[in-house]
Protein backbone atom coordinates (compact mmCIF):
# COMPACT_ATOMS: atom_id res chain seq x y z
CA UNK A 1 0.00 0.00 0.00
CA UNK A 2 1.36 3.39 -0.92
CA UNK A 3 1.07 6.29 1.50
CA UNK A 4 -1.56 7.80 -0.76
CA UNK A 5 -3.69 4.70 -0.42
CA UNK A 6 -3.40 4.91 3.35
CA UNK A 7 -4.55 8.49 3.24
CA UNK A 8 -7.47 7.70 0.97
CA UNK A 9 -8.46 4.86 3.27
CA UNK A 10 -8.36 7.22 6.27
CA UNK A 11 -10.50 9.77 4.46
CA UNK A 12 -13.02 7.11 3.56
CA UNK A 13 -13.23 5.95 7.16
CA UNK A 14 -13.71 9.49 8.44
CA UNK A 15 -16.33 10.26 5.80
CA UNK A 16 -18.20 7.14 6.84
CA UNK A 17 -18.33 8.31 10.49
CA UNK A 18 -19.31 11.85 9.47
CA UNK A 19 -22.43 10.46 7.79
CA UNK A 20 -23.71 9.72 11.29
CA UNK A 21 -26.98 7.83 11.13
CA UNK A 22 -27.30 8.28 7.37
CA UNK A 23 -29.23 10.55 5.01
CA UNK A 24 -32.69 9.45 6.10
CA UNK A 25 -32.06 10.12 9.79
CA UNK A 26 -30.40 13.45 8.96
CA UNK A 27 -33.43 14.37 6.82
CA UNK A 28 -35.76 13.68 9.76
CA UNK A 29 -33.55 15.83 12.00
CA UNK A 30 -33.63 18.70 9.47
CA UNK A 31 -37.41 18.45 9.15
CA UNK A 32 -37.65 19.30 12.86
CA UNK A 33 -35.55 22.45 12.40
CA UNK A 34 -32.55 20.67 13.90
CA UNK A 35 -28.98 20.68 12.64
CA UNK A 36 -26.75 17.62 12.97
CA UNK A 37 -24.31 17.28 15.86
CA UNK A 38 -21.29 18.35 13.75
CA UNK A 39 -23.16 21.21 12.08
CA UNK A 40 -24.05 22.54 15.52
CA UNK A 41 -20.47 22.49 16.76
CA UNK A 42 -19.24 24.14 13.57
CA UNK A 43 -21.88 26.86 13.98
CA UNK A 44 -20.57 27.69 17.47
CA UNK A 45 -16.77 27.59 17.06
CA UNK A 46 -14.46 29.82 15.03
CA UNK A 47 -14.21 28.74 11.42
CA UNK A 48 -11.62 26.03 10.90
CA UNK A 49 -10.89 25.73 14.62
CA UNK A 50 -12.64 22.44 15.42
CA UNK A 51 -10.84 19.15 15.88
CA UNK A 52 -12.80 16.00 16.51
CA UNK A 53 -11.48 13.07 18.57
CA UNK A 54 -12.53 9.47 19.10
CA UNK A 55 -14.23 9.23 15.71
CA UNK A 56 -13.51 5.52 15.48
CA UNK A 57 -14.68 4.55 18.95
CA UNK A 58 -17.06 1.60 18.77
CA UNK A 59 -20.02 0.88 20.98
CA UNK A 60 -19.69 -1.62 23.82
CA UNK A 61 -23.01 -3.43 23.54
CA UNK A 62 -23.09 -7.20 23.03
CA UNK A 63 -26.58 -8.22 24.21
CA UNK A 64 -29.70 -8.12 22.02
CA UNK A 65 -27.70 -8.61 18.80
CA UNK A 66 -25.99 -5.28 19.31
CA UNK A 67 -22.62 -6.90 18.58
CA UNK A 68 -23.29 -6.84 14.82
CA UNK A 69 -24.39 -3.24 14.69
CA UNK A 70 -22.14 -0.32 13.76
CA UNK A 71 -22.93 3.01 15.43
CA UNK A 72 -20.92 5.89 13.97
CA UNK A 73 -18.82 7.41 16.76
CA UNK A 74 -21.27 5.74 19.15
CA UNK A 75 -23.69 8.64 18.76
CA UNK A 76 -21.60 11.47 20.12
CA UNK A 77 -19.09 13.94 18.71
CA UNK A 78 -16.31 15.28 20.96
CA UNK A 79 -13.57 17.77 20.25
CA UNK A 80 -11.88 21.08 20.89
CA UNK A 81 -12.11 24.44 19.19
CA UNK A 82 -12.11 28.17 19.83
CA UNK A 83 -14.82 30.82 20.16
CA UNK A 84 -13.54 34.32 19.40
CA UNK A 85 -10.13 32.70 19.89
CA UNK A 86 -10.94 31.44 23.41
CA UNK A 87 -10.38 27.69 23.76
CA UNK A 88 -13.35 25.41 24.52
CA UNK A 89 -14.00 21.68 24.81
CA UNK A 90 -17.23 20.41 23.29
CA UNK A 91 -19.40 17.36 22.96
CA UNK A 92 -22.57 16.97 20.92
CA UNK A 93 -24.89 13.99 21.04
CA UNK A 94 -25.88 12.78 17.57
CA UNK A 95 -29.59 11.97 17.50
CA UNK A 96 -29.24 10.39 14.04
CA UNK A 97 -27.18 7.53 15.54
CA UNK A 98 -29.36 5.23 17.64
CA UNK A 99 -31.36 8.27 18.81
CA UNK A 100 -28.27 9.71 20.50
CA UNK A 101 -28.76 7.07 23.18
CA UNK A 102 -26.08 6.88 25.84
CA UNK A 103 -24.10 3.65 26.04
CA UNK A 104 -20.79 2.98 27.76
CA UNK A 105 -18.50 4.13 24.92
CA UNK A 106 -20.68 7.19 24.30
CA UNK A 107 -20.36 8.14 27.97
CA UNK A 108 -16.60 7.47 27.95
CA UNK A 109 -16.17 9.86 25.04
CA UNK A 110 -18.05 12.55 26.98
CA UNK A 111 -16.09 11.98 30.18
CA UNK A 112 -12.85 12.03 28.19
CA UNK A 113 -13.53 15.53 26.89
CA UNK A 114 -14.79 16.60 30.34
CA UNK A 115 -11.54 15.42 31.93
CA UNK A 116 -9.67 17.27 29.24
CA UNK A 117 -11.58 20.51 29.86
CA UNK A 118 -10.92 20.33 33.59
CA UNK A 119 -7.23 19.49 33.14
CA UNK A 120 -6.74 22.30 30.62
CA UNK A 121 -8.92 24.70 32.64
CA UNK A 122 -11.08 25.70 29.71
CA UNK A 123 -14.90 25.95 29.36
CA UNK A 124 -16.97 22.89 28.46
CA UNK A 125 -19.96 23.10 26.13
CA UNK A 126 -22.26 20.06 25.97
CA UNK A 127 -25.00 19.73 23.36
CA UNK A 128 -27.73 17.36 24.50
CA UNK A 129 -29.93 15.59 21.95
CA UNK A 130 -30.61 12.08 23.12
CA UNK A 131 -33.38 9.59 23.64
CA UNK A 132 -31.79 8.67 26.97
CA UNK A 133 -30.08 5.58 28.30
CA UNK A 134 -29.29 2.86 25.72
CA UNK A 135 -31.48 0.16 27.21
CA UNK A 136 -29.55 -2.64 25.45
CA UNK A 137 -26.48 -1.71 27.49
CA UNK A 138 -28.33 -1.83 30.80
CA UNK A 139 -26.51 -0.77 33.92
CA UNK A 140 -23.41 0.25 31.93
CA UNK A 141 -25.43 3.09 30.57
CA UNK A 142 -26.45 4.21 34.07
CA UNK A 143 -22.81 4.02 35.13
CA UNK A 144 -22.03 6.37 32.25
CA UNK A 145 -24.49 8.99 33.48
CA UNK A 146 -23.09 8.76 37.01
CA UNK A 147 -19.55 9.34 35.72
CA UNK A 148 -20.76 12.43 33.88
CA UNK A 149 -22.61 13.88 36.89
CA UNK A 150 -19.57 13.33 39.10
CA UNK A 151 -17.36 15.25 36.68
CA UNK A 152 -19.93 18.06 36.39
CA UNK A 153 -19.71 18.47 40.15
CA UNK A 154 -15.91 18.21 40.22
CA UNK A 155 -15.59 20.91 37.54
CA UNK A 156 -18.24 23.14 39.10
CA UNK A 157 -16.72 26.50 40.03
CA UNK A 158 -13.43 25.63 38.31
CA UNK A 159 -14.35 25.86 34.62
CA UNK A 160 -17.52 27.31 33.09
CA UNK A 161 -19.90 24.52 32.07
CA UNK A 162 -22.55 25.23 29.46
CA UNK A 163 -25.39 22.89 28.48
CA UNK A 164 -27.32 23.28 25.27
CA UNK A 165 -30.57 21.33 25.02
CA UNK A 166 -31.28 20.74 21.34
CA UNK A 167 -33.65 17.82 21.39
CA UNK A 168 -34.93 15.45 24.01
CA UNK A 169 -33.08 15.28 27.33
CA UNK A 170 -35.16 13.08 29.57
CA UNK A 171 -34.99 10.94 32.68
CA UNK A 172 -31.66 10.85 34.47
CA UNK A 173 -30.01 12.67 31.56
CA UNK A 174 -31.50 15.99 32.73
CA UNK A 175 -29.21 16.04 35.73
CA UNK A 176 -26.05 16.81 33.83
CA UNK A 177 -27.46 20.12 32.52
CA UNK A 178 -28.97 20.81 35.94
CA UNK A 179 -25.49 20.59 37.48
CA UNK A 180 -23.94 22.98 34.98
CA UNK A 181 -23.75 26.78 35.09
CA UNK A 182 -25.84 27.83 32.11
CA UNK A 183 -28.57 25.94 30.23
CA UNK A 184 -29.67 27.05 26.75
CA UNK A 185 -33.03 26.02 25.25
CA UNK A 186 -34.74 26.54 21.89
CA UNK A 187 -38.48 26.76 21.33
CA UNK A 188 -40.08 23.62 19.83
CA UNK A 189 -36.74 21.76 19.94
CA UNK A 190 -35.73 21.42 23.60
CA UNK A 191 -37.61 18.89 25.75
CA UNK A 192 -36.59 18.20 29.33
CA UNK A 193 -38.41 16.12 31.89
CA UNK A 194 -37.87 13.34 34.40
CA UNK A 195 -41.03 11.44 33.49
CA UNK A 196 -42.39 11.78 29.97
CA UNK A 197 -45.96 12.27 28.72
CA UNK A 198 -46.46 8.54 27.98
CA UNK A 199 -45.81 7.46 31.56
CA UNK A 200 -47.82 10.34 32.98
CA UNK A 201 -50.73 9.29 30.79
CA UNK A 202 -50.55 5.63 31.75
CA UNK A 203 -50.28 6.33 35.47
CA UNK A 204 -52.46 9.39 35.86
CA UNK A 205 -54.52 9.54 32.73
CA UNK A 206 -53.28 13.10 32.24
CA UNK A 207 -52.77 13.99 28.60
CA UNK A 208 -50.01 16.54 28.13
CA UNK A 209 -47.75 17.28 25.18
CA UNK A 210 -43.95 17.19 25.49
CA UNK A 211 -43.86 20.92 24.80
CA UNK A 212 -46.36 21.76 27.54
CA UNK A 213 -44.68 19.40 30.00
CA UNK A 214 -41.02 20.26 29.48
CA UNK A 215 -40.59 22.51 26.46
CA UNK A 216 -38.21 25.43 26.21
CA UNK A 217 -40.70 28.05 27.40
CA UNK A 218 -41.66 25.96 30.44
CA UNK A 219 -38.05 25.77 31.60
CA UNK A 220 -37.26 29.39 30.76
CA UNK A 221 -40.36 30.79 32.45
CA UNK A 222 -41.78 28.40 35.05
CA UNK A 223 -39.15 25.98 36.36
CA UNK A 224 -36.07 28.19 36.08
CA UNK A 225 -34.04 25.24 34.77
CA UNK A 226 -33.01 27.18 31.65
CA UNK A 227 -31.01 30.42 31.57
CA UNK A 228 -31.29 31.36 27.91
CA UNK A 229 -34.28 30.97 25.61
CA UNK A 230 -34.06 31.25 21.81
CA UNK A 231 -36.49 30.87 18.93
CA UNK A 232 -34.02 29.06 16.67
CA UNK A 233 -30.78 27.11 16.92
CA UNK A 234 -29.02 29.96 15.14
CA UNK A 235 -30.13 32.50 17.76
CA UNK A 236 -29.09 30.06 20.49
CA UNK A 237 -25.55 29.74 19.06
CA UNK A 238 -25.20 33.54 19.00
CA UNK A 239 -26.22 33.66 22.67
CA UNK A 240 -23.58 31.04 23.55
CA UNK A 241 -20.88 32.99 21.72
CA UNK A 242 -21.88 36.22 23.46
CA UNK A 243 -21.83 34.52 26.86
CA UNK A 244 -18.30 33.23 26.21
CA UNK A 245 -17.09 36.83 25.74
CA UNK A 246 -18.31 37.74 29.24
CA UNK A 247 -16.81 34.87 31.26
CA UNK A 248 -13.23 33.81 32.04
CA UNK A 249 -11.72 30.49 30.94
CA UNK A 250 -11.52 29.30 34.53
CA UNK A 251 -11.68 30.33 38.18
CA UNK A 252 -8.08 31.60 38.33
CA UNK A 253 -8.54 34.11 35.54
CA UNK A 254 -10.58 37.18 34.76
CA UNK A 255 -12.83 37.60 31.75
CA UNK A 256 -11.32 39.22 28.68
CA UNK A 257 -11.43 43.03 28.69
CA UNK A 258 -12.85 45.08 25.85
CA UNK A 259 -12.30 48.67 24.71
CA UNK A 260 -14.25 51.13 26.88
CA UNK A 261 -17.34 52.66 25.30
CA UNK A 262 -19.48 55.38 26.86
CA UNK A 263 -23.18 54.57 27.41
CA UNK A 264 -25.49 55.61 24.59
CA UNK A 265 -26.84 59.14 25.00
CA UNK A 266 -30.47 58.02 24.66
CA UNK A 267 -30.33 56.55 28.18
CA UNK A 268 -30.75 59.56 30.47
CA UNK A 269 -30.36 58.14 33.95
CA UNK A 270 -31.96 61.11 35.73
CA UNK A 271 -35.17 60.78 33.68
CA UNK A 272 -35.94 57.09 34.17
CA UNK A 273 -37.06 56.81 37.80
CA UNK A 274 -40.37 58.34 38.99
CA UNK A 275 -39.90 60.13 42.32
CA UNK A 276 -43.05 58.46 43.71
CA UNK A 277 -41.74 55.16 45.08
CA UNK A 278 -45.03 53.45 44.24
CA UNK A 279 -44.69 53.95 40.48
CA UNK A 280 -42.86 51.43 38.27
CA UNK A 281 -40.06 51.74 35.71
CA UNK A 282 -37.76 49.30 33.92
CA UNK A 283 -34.56 48.82 35.95
CA UNK A 284 -32.80 47.57 32.81
CA UNK A 285 -32.86 51.14 31.52
CA UNK A 286 -30.79 52.15 34.55
CA UNK A 287 -28.33 49.31 33.92
CA UNK A 288 -28.00 50.34 30.28
CA UNK A 289 -27.43 53.93 31.27
CA UNK A 290 -24.29 52.98 33.21
CA UNK A 291 -22.70 50.07 31.27
CA UNK A 292 -20.13 50.39 28.50
CA UNK A 293 -21.94 50.94 25.21
CA UNK A 294 -25.27 50.52 27.07
CA UNK A 295 -24.85 46.77 26.55
CA UNK A 296 -26.50 44.36 28.94
CA UNK A 297 -26.60 40.58 28.47
CA UNK A 298 -29.55 39.43 30.53
CA UNK A 299 -29.71 35.95 32.07
CA UNK A 300 -33.00 34.16 32.94
CA UNK A 301 -35.00 36.99 31.44
CA UNK A 302 -38.34 35.17 31.62
CA UNK A 303 -38.01 33.51 35.03
CA UNK A 304 -38.73 35.50 38.21
CA UNK A 305 -38.64 38.74 36.23
CA UNK A 306 -39.03 40.68 39.50
CA UNK A 307 -35.26 40.47 39.79
CA UNK A 308 -32.90 41.15 36.89
CA UNK A 309 -29.50 39.46 36.56
CA UNK A 310 -26.91 39.55 33.81
CA UNK A 311 -23.57 40.77 32.57
CA UNK A 312 -22.48 44.18 31.38
CA UNK A 313 -19.07 45.80 31.15
CA UNK A 314 -17.63 48.80 32.93
CA UNK A 315 -14.23 50.13 32.03
CA UNK A 316 -14.07 47.16 29.61
CA UNK A 317 -14.34 44.62 32.41
CA UNK A 318 -17.19 42.11 32.95
CA UNK A 319 -19.54 43.03 35.80
CA UNK A 320 -22.41 40.97 37.20
CA UNK A 321 -25.56 43.01 37.78
CA UNK A 322 -28.25 42.09 40.30
CA UNK A 323 -31.20 44.50 40.29
CA UNK A 324 -34.75 44.59 41.65
CA UNK A 325 -37.29 45.17 38.88
CA UNK A 326 -40.11 47.52 40.01
CA UNK A 327 -41.89 46.85 36.71
CA UNK A 328 -42.68 43.26 37.72
CA UNK A 329 -44.34 42.37 41.04
CA UNK A 330 -43.07 45.72 42.36
CA UNK A 331 -39.58 44.17 42.47
CA UNK A 332 -40.33 42.12 45.59
CA UNK A 333 -38.09 39.32 46.76
CA UNK A 334 -39.72 35.87 46.74
CA UNK A 335 -38.69 32.22 46.50
CA UNK A 336 -37.89 32.24 42.78
CA UNK A 337 -36.13 35.60 42.65
CA UNK A 338 -34.01 34.62 45.67
CA UNK A 339 -32.92 31.38 44.00
CA UNK A 340 -32.19 33.21 40.77
CA UNK A 341 -30.09 35.95 42.34
CA UNK A 342 -28.28 33.71 44.82
CA UNK A 343 -27.03 31.30 42.17
CA UNK A 344 -25.85 34.16 39.98
CA UNK A 345 -24.00 35.85 42.87
CA UNK A 346 -22.22 32.57 43.55
CA UNK A 347 -21.36 32.24 39.86
CA UNK A 348 -19.83 35.74 39.81
CA UNK A 349 -17.90 35.03 42.98
CA UNK A 350 -16.53 31.71 41.67
CA UNK A 351 -15.34 33.33 38.45
CA UNK A 352 -13.90 36.61 39.76
CA UNK A 353 -16.62 38.86 38.40
CA UNK A 354 -17.37 42.01 40.49
CA UNK A 355 -21.03 42.44 41.47
CA UNK A 356 -23.03 45.66 41.25
CA UNK A 357 -26.39 45.58 43.03
CA UNK A 358 -29.12 48.09 42.16
CA UNK A 359 -31.75 48.19 44.86
CA UNK A 360 -35.37 49.27 44.71
CA UNK A 361 -37.69 46.84 46.47
CA UNK A 362 -40.49 47.07 49.02
CA UNK A 363 -39.66 43.79 50.84
CA UNK A 364 -40.68 40.15 50.59
CA UNK A 365 -43.83 39.10 48.74
CA UNK A 366 -46.61 38.47 51.27
CA UNK A 367 -48.80 35.37 50.91
CA UNK A 368 -49.52 31.88 52.24
CA UNK A 369 -48.20 30.35 49.01
CA UNK A 370 -44.83 32.05 49.53
CA UNK A 371 -44.57 31.12 53.20
CA UNK A 372 -45.51 27.52 52.52
CA UNK A 373 -43.18 27.34 49.53
CA UNK A 374 -40.35 28.08 51.96
CA UNK A 375 -39.54 31.74 51.38
CA UNK A 376 -37.50 31.59 54.60
CA UNK A 377 -34.98 29.06 53.34
CA UNK A 378 -35.07 30.39 49.77
CA UNK A 379 -34.67 33.99 50.91
CA UNK A 380 -31.74 32.92 53.09
CA UNK A 381 -29.82 31.91 49.97
CA UNK A 382 -29.43 35.54 48.93
CA UNK A 383 -28.03 36.49 52.35
CA UNK A 384 -25.68 33.53 52.19
CA UNK A 385 -24.48 34.23 48.67
CA UNK A 386 -23.75 37.91 49.27
CA UNK A 387 -22.10 37.30 52.65
CA UNK A 388 -19.90 34.57 51.23
CA UNK A 389 -18.83 36.49 48.10
CA UNK A 390 -15.35 38.00 48.22
CA UNK A 391 -15.31 39.68 44.80
CA UNK A 392 -15.83 43.47 44.79
CA UNK A 393 -19.44 44.13 45.87
CA UNK A 394 -20.99 47.53 45.27
CA UNK A 395 -24.57 48.60 45.99
CA UNK A 396 -26.55 51.56 44.68
CA UNK A 397 -29.83 52.19 46.50
CA UNK A 398 -32.15 53.90 44.06
CA UNK A 399 -35.40 54.17 45.99
CA UNK A 400 -36.91 51.61 48.38
CA UNK A 401 -34.68 49.58 50.69
CA UNK A 402 -37.03 48.26 53.33
CA UNK A 403 -36.68 45.69 56.09
CA UNK A 404 -35.07 42.29 55.57
CA UNK A 405 -34.79 43.00 51.86
CA UNK A 406 -32.52 45.97 52.59
CA UNK A 407 -30.17 43.71 54.54
CA UNK A 408 -30.31 40.98 51.89
CA UNK A 409 -29.52 43.20 48.91
CA UNK A 410 -25.79 43.45 49.56
CA UNK A 411 -25.98 45.83 52.48
CA UNK A 412 -22.97 47.17 54.37
CA UNK A 413 -23.77 44.60 57.04
CA UNK A 414 -23.06 41.71 54.63
CA UNK A 415 -19.71 43.38 53.83
CA UNK A 416 -20.54 45.40 50.77
CA UNK A 417 -17.39 47.29 49.78
CA UNK A 418 -19.24 50.43 48.76
CA UNK A 419 -22.85 51.45 49.36
CA UNK A 420 -24.12 54.47 47.46
CA UNK A 421 -27.62 55.94 47.62
CA UNK A 422 -29.54 58.33 45.44
CA UNK A 423 -31.29 61.21 47.26
CA UNK A 424 -34.55 59.37 46.46
CA UNK A 425 -33.45 56.37 48.57
CA UNK A 426 -35.67 55.31 51.48
CA UNK A 427 -33.85 53.09 53.94
CA UNK A 428 -36.22 52.00 56.68
CA UNK A 429 -37.74 49.01 58.41
CA UNK A 430 -40.77 49.35 56.16
CA UNK A 431 -42.51 51.88 53.93
CA UNK A 432 -44.14 54.95 55.51
CA UNK A 433 -47.70 53.56 55.06
CA UNK A 434 -47.04 50.37 57.00
CA UNK A 435 -44.86 52.02 59.64
CA UNK A 436 -47.34 54.83 60.38
CA UNK A 437 -50.16 52.30 60.81
CA UNK A 438 -48.15 50.51 63.49
CA UNK A 439 -46.27 53.30 65.28
CA UNK A 440 -49.27 55.63 65.42
CA UNK A 441 -51.97 52.99 65.76
CA UNK A 442 -53.40 54.56 68.89
CA UNK A 443 -53.38 58.14 67.58
CA UNK A 444 -55.05 57.03 64.33
CA UNK A 445 -57.73 54.97 66.11
CA UNK A 446 -58.57 57.73 68.57
CA UNK A 447 -58.63 60.58 66.06
CA UNK A 448 -61.90 62.19 65.04
CA UNK A 449 -60.96 61.66 61.41
CA UNK A 450 -58.74 58.52 61.37
CA UNK A 451 -58.00 58.77 57.63
CA UNK A 452 -56.81 62.36 57.88
CA UNK A 453 -54.71 61.46 60.92
CA UNK A 454 -53.26 58.45 59.08
CA UNK A 455 -52.24 60.63 56.13
CA UNK A 456 -50.69 63.16 58.50
CA UNK A 457 -48.70 60.48 60.33
CA UNK A 458 -47.58 58.86 57.07
CA UNK A 459 -46.26 62.24 55.97
CA UNK A 460 -44.52 62.74 59.31
CA UNK A 461 -42.83 59.35 59.05
CA UNK A 462 -41.93 59.99 55.41
CA UNK A 463 -40.26 63.30 56.22
CA UNK A 464 -38.30 61.83 59.07
CA UNK A 465 -37.29 58.36 57.89
CA UNK A 466 -38.00 57.89 54.17
CA UNK A 467 -34.62 59.19 53.05
CA UNK A 468 -30.98 58.07 52.85
CA UNK A 469 -29.72 60.40 55.55
CA UNK A 470 -30.64 58.38 58.64
CA UNK A 471 -28.59 55.43 57.33
CA UNK A 472 -25.87 57.79 56.09
CA UNK A 473 -25.62 59.27 59.59
CA UNK A 474 -24.69 55.81 60.87
CA UNK A 475 -22.16 55.16 58.11
CA UNK A 476 -24.27 52.35 56.61
CA UNK A 477 -24.16 54.31 53.38
CA UNK A 478 -20.85 55.71 52.18
CA UNK A 479 -22.10 58.49 49.99
CA UNK A 480 -25.36 59.99 48.79
CA UNK A 481 -24.88 60.69 45.10
CA UNK A 482 -26.67 62.43 42.26
CA UNK A 483 -28.12 60.00 39.72
CA UNK A 484 -26.02 61.38 36.85
CA UNK A 485 -22.81 60.70 38.82
CA UNK A 486 -23.62 56.97 39.14
CA UNK A 487 -21.41 55.62 36.34
CA UNK A 488 -18.46 57.80 37.24
CA UNK A 489 -18.60 56.78 40.90
CA UNK A 490 -19.05 53.10 40.09
CA UNK A 491 -16.02 53.19 37.76
CA UNK A 492 -14.02 54.75 40.56
CA UNK A 493 -15.20 52.23 43.14
CA UNK A 494 -14.36 49.34 40.77
CA UNK A 495 -10.88 50.75 40.20
CA UNK A 496 -10.28 51.02 43.94
CA UNK A 497 -11.55 47.43 44.44
CA UNK A 498 -9.40 45.88 41.70
CA UNK A 499 -6.98 44.08 44.01
CA UNK A 500 -9.43 43.36 46.79
CA UNK A 501 -8.22 40.50 48.96
CA UNK A 502 -10.23 39.14 51.87
CA UNK A 503 -10.00 35.70 53.44
CA UNK A 504 -12.70 34.00 55.46
CA UNK A 505 -12.05 31.27 58.02
CA UNK A 506 -10.82 28.02 56.47
CA UNK A 507 -13.49 25.35 56.04
CA UNK A 508 -14.19 22.29 53.90
CA UNK A 509 -17.30 24.01 52.56
CA UNK A 510 -20.14 26.08 53.94
CA UNK A 511 -23.71 24.86 54.27
CA UNK A 512 -25.90 27.16 52.19
CA UNK A 513 -29.64 26.49 52.60
CA UNK A 514 -29.96 24.46 49.36
Partner 1 sequence: MAEQEKTQIIIVHSAKYQTTYTKKYENRKVWAEPNFNHINSYIPGTIIEILVKEGQKVAAGESILILEAMKMYNDIKMPFKGKIVKVYVEIGQKIPKNFLMIEVEPLD
Binding site for partner 1 (CB under 8 A): 203-206, 221-222, 277-280, 301-306, 326-332, 336, 362-369, 372, 402-403, 430-435, 437
Select 152 or 306, whichever has its Cβ closest to partner 1: 306
Q: State the minimum distance, in angstroms, from the CB of residue 141 to partner 1.
A: 22
The answer to whether the CB of 163 falls within 8 A of the CB of 184 is: yes
CA distance 240 to 88: 12
Q: State the minimum distance, in angstroms, from the CB of residue 212 to partner 1.
A: 13
Beta strand 393-402 with 355-361 is: parallel
CA distance 38 to 43: 9
CA distance 195 to 82: 36
Select 264 or 278, whichever has its Cβ closest to partner 1: 278
The answer to whether the CB of 128 falls within 8 A of the CB of 173 is: yes
Select 160 or 403, whichever has its Cβ closest to partner 1: 403
Q: Among positive and negative, which fits the CA dihedral 37, 42, 44, 48?
A: positive
Q: State the minimum distance, in angstroms, from the CB of residue 157 to partner 1.
A: 29
Q: State the minimum distance, in angstroms, from the CB of residue 364 to partner 1.
A: 8
Q: State the minimum distance, in angstroms, from the CB of residue 448 to partner 1.
A: 21
Cα angle 488, 490, 494; round to 5 = 120
Count the residues in the chain.
Answer: 514
Q: State the minimum distance, in angstroms, from the CB of residue 397 to partner 1.
A: 17
Select 133 or 304, whichever has its Cβ closest to partner 1: 304
- The kind and range of the H/E element at 439 are helix 432-439
Select 369 or 479, whichever has its Cβ closest to partner 1: 369
Q: State the minimum distance, in angstroms, from the CB of residue 331 to partner 1.
A: 8
Cα dist from 134 to 28, 112, 147, 193, whole Å = 20, 19, 15, 17
Can you point out the beta strands (E) in 411-507?
418-421, 426-428, 479-480
Query: How many of the other CB atoms lie within 10 Å of CB of 484?
Result: 11
Three-class secondary structure of residue 92 per DSSP = strand
CA distance 30 to 292: 39
Secondary structure (DSSP) of 43-95: HHSPTT--EEE-TT------TTTGGG---GGGGEEEEEEEETTEEEEEEEE-T
Select 380 or 429, whichever has its Cβ closest to partner 1: 429
Select 206 or 479, whichever has its Cβ closest to partner 1: 206
The answer to whether the CB of 401 falls within 8 A of the CB of 363 is: no
Beta strand 76-83 with 86-93 is: antiparallel
Q: State the minimum distance, in angstroms, from the CB of residue 328 to partner 1.
A: 5
CA distance 191 to 214: 5
Select 191 or 400, whichever has its Cβ closest to partner 1: 400
Q: State the minimum distance, in angstroms, from the CB of residue 370 to partner 1.
A: 8
Ramachandran sector of residue 439 (left: φ over 0; alpha: ψ -120 to 50; beta: rest): alpha
Q: State the minimum distance, in angstroms, from the CB of residue 339 to partner 1.
A: 13
Select 26 or 183, whichever has its Cβ closest to partner 1: 183
Select 10 or 204, whichever has its Cβ closest to partner 1: 204
Amino acid sequence: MSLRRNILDLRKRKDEVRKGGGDEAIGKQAAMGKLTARERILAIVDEGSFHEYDMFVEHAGTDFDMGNKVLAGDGVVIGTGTIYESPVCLFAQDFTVAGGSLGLSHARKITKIMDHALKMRVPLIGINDSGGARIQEGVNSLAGYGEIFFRNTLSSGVIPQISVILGPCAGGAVYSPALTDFVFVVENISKMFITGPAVIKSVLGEDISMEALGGARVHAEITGNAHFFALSEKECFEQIKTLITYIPWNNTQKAKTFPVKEPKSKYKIQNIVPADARLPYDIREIIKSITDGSEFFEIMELFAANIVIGFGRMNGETIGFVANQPKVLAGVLDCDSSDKAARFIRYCNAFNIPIITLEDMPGYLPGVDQEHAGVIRHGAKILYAYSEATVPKITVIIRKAYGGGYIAMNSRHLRADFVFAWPTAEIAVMGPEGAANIVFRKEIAEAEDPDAMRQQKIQEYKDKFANPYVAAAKGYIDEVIEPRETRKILLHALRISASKDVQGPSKKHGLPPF
